[in-house]
Amino acid sequence: MSADDWHVSDDDLRAYAGGTARPPWSWSTEAHVAACPRCRQRLAQQADPSEVHAGWARLDAELDAPRPGPVEALLLRAGVAEHTARLLASTPGLRKSWLIAVGFTLAVTTGAAHLSTWMTVPIPLLAIAPLLPLIGVAISFGPRVDPSYELAVVAPLHTFRLLLLRCAAVLVTTMALTALASVTAPSFGLVVLGWLAPSLTLTFLSMALLPRLGPVAAPVAVGVGWLALLAVTVQRATGESVLFTAPGQAGLAVAAAVAALALWKVRAAFDTGRVADPNTRRTM
């Protein structure tokens, strides 16, 4: 029997449209409707217009919804909330181009350390590695440097928490890449890990200065201070510096703790909008 010889009754069409039809009858109805223009037209008359519009709206929303990228998908699988995962995935410091630039910089500095055979300390790596998180912080927050800033403003997160999340993500990625670079220089011993304490110190200090100096000036000021400190303490003949001795590392660890405490003290200033734009006010 073809679609032209038999048609679905009105009662069966109403049951199918209302979702009350049961298999196997619903299967045969669906197969017939797919091949019969007349019954499709009758089915459209039986369907509730509001449900049809709602279905189209759901379909449009699904088609228009942005597809999560690899970073966002990984965060979602790890149990991170959807809005938080999207904000983290949009962090400029986590983009592929930035990570490639970090990897290239570390490769160059590590290579320079290997070529500087007269040095007992891989000073190119130890000097540059702590600056990478600072650059990541500088490009990860603020309306002038963050293309997703408007999304961050309306997100159900306090500015301080958002800053911590993004800076933590930048720190983890840059430190992971730096750790990989350090593995390639085992001949220098444990001193090759001397970048860890200054990385934390400089990052916490720049974050503590953000409310006063802004998202770009704060990292720049801290970075310049770090380079000036190296210029004063590094011995050009060997590359050694008191900063990369046990007492120096202990001092940097204490400085990191003090900077973290200072950051906690000024946390309320992040929700006033002064961090990014004096004309922006956060009420969340």
Q: What is the pLDDT of residue 278?
A: 40
Task: Count the domains in the chain.
Answer: 2
Tokens representing 174?
């840059």
The answer to whether residues 202 and 252 belong to one domain is yes
The answer to whether residues 113 and 251 belong to one domain is yes
Q: What is the pLDDT of residue 228?
A: 94
The answer to whether residues 102 and 17 belong to one domain is no
In this predicted model, which residue has the larger pLDDT, 274 or 91? 91
- Answer whether residue 190 is part of any domain: yes
Among 45, 64, 83, which residue terminates a domain? 64
The answer to whether residues 82 and 218 belong to one domain is yes
The answer to whether residues 266 and 125 belong to one domain is yes
Q: Examine the pLDDT at 253 and tell me if it is beyond 90.
A: yes
Q: Which residues contact 141 (CB under 8 A, 6 or more apart)?
A: 149, 163, 166, 210, 215, 275, 276
* Domain span including residue 26: 10-64
Q: How confident is the model at residue 282 (pLDDT cuts 50, 70, 90)?
A: very low
In this predicted model, which residue has the larger pLDDT, 231 or 181? 231
The answer to whether residues 60 and 74 belong to one domain is no
Query: For residue range 119-160, what is the model confidence (pLDDT) as tens digits?
Result: 777 888 888 888 888 887 777 665 555 555 555 544 444 567
Among 38, 64, 90, which residue terminates a domain? 64
Q: Kindly report whether the global pTM for this prediction surpasses the value 0.75.
A: no
Average model confidence (pLDDT) across the chain: 74
The answer to whether residues 99 and 39 belong to one domain is no
Q: What percent of the chain has pLDDT over 90?
A: 12
The answer to whether residues 209 and 242 belong to one domain is yes
Q: What is the pLDDT of residue 69?
A: 63
The answer to whether residues 261 and 128 belong to one domain is yes
Q: What is the pLDDT of residue 24?
A: 77
Q: Examine the pLDDT at 195 and tell me if it is beyond 70.
A: yes
The answer to whether residues 82 and 214 belong to one domain is yes
The answer to whether residues 205 and 128 belong to one domain is yes
- Answer whether residue 277 is part of any domain: no
The answer to whether residues 60 and 99 belong to one domain is no
Q: Examine the pLDDT at 65 and tell me if it is beyond 80.
A: no
Evaluate whether 50 touches 76 at the Cβ level (below 8 Å).
no
Q: What is the pLDDT of residue 249?
A: 92
